[in-house]
């Protein structure tokens, strides 16, 4: 096993090796990042295309929901108008005077 200093514990040595490995990985990623974006159909283009597709689907869903909401609102408006008309007819019928010949029967 590679000892870096006699005073380092096994955990300290492992942490240092991990730090070096992460630093190397970051260097390699930084070197490859421009290549990934420059290649036609590279990683960034694929991600961008996927996100654009998801955005298009979300916008279509939003339009569908807006249309459904407008239809529901119109249906509620019609139902309210019908209920108000029925209540007005009922109130008008209740207020009509009863003819004299029918009032004796009541």
Query: From CA 41, how far away is CA 26, in angstroms rounded?
Result: 23
pLDDT on residue 48: 82
* Structure tokens belonging to residue 63: 């339009």
Of the candidates 24, 1, 29, which has an alpha carbon nearest to the alpha carbon of residue 14?
Answer: 1
14-64 pLDDT, tens digit each = 999 999 999 999 888 888 777 665 665 666 777 888 889 999 999 999 999
Query: From CA 32, how far away is CA 26, in angstroms rounded?
Result: 10
Domain residue spans in the chain? 11-94
Taking the model in full, what pTM does it have?
0.43
């Amino acid at each position: 096993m590679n000892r870096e200093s006699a005073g380092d514990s096994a955990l300290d040595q492992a942490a240092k090796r991990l730090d070096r490995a992460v630093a190397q990985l970051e260097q390699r990623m930084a070197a490859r990042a421009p290549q990934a974006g420059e290649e036609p159909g590279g990683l960034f283009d694929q991600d961008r295309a996927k996100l654009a597709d998801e955005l298009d689907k979300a916008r279509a869903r939003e339009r569908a929901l807006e249309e459904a909401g407008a239809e529901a609102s119109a249906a509620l408006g019609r139902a309210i108008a019908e209920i108000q008309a029925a209540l007005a007819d009922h109130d008008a019928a209740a207020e009509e005077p009863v003819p004299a010949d029918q009032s004796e029967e009541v």
